Structure 1
């Protein structure tokens, strides 16, 4: 058997391995993107929920009900809502669907309230 016959099909095997690596890298990037989008959704819901709750607390409305309502409209779960004096802290959570890799919960925390005065 000559060396030419021994190497027959090596390019096909190398191309298949390269294609498999490319597909794996693409899948990884897509999964990371899904988690990043879920994190942004959770953070947006937490931020807006905290602002809505802070605004509702000034008018005497139920602040946490406003935050939960907004989270429900954004399809995000509001896990906790805490009102202390004028400060509102909201923890929002969303599930990122990664197909066969699982469904992790992504959380975000936001706080809204009056700005602290700075000494000059």
Structure 2
């Protein structure tokens, strides 16, 4: 395991990784451990949503696989950024409206789609995260 590929990567990639890793950890804690609705849950939830927003915006500036360039440098993976940003807005609106079910569904969509599914693509051969974890 070596961080060299990440340190040599463009700033957008570094920002994306340095925000998604803590977002993954906080999101896991929020879903599995935290007492829903508690002050700590809300405070950490705002940090989590901020990290996910930065992660999604940074991802829009990552264009490293030209073979799947569909629209001006954007590929299918960029759809997850739009879904994540939409989910963040939906989660906040639901929370502010005290719509617990809507908030839960939006947050699960952000976590599952924005971190787990999109993140699984990051570990495919030829990607930076694959090189970091498994070597070249």
TM-score bin (small chain):
0.3 to 0.5
Greater RCO, CA 8 A, separation 6+:
2
TM-score, L = length of structure 1: 0.33
More helix per residue: 1 or 2? 2
Structure with larger Rg: 1
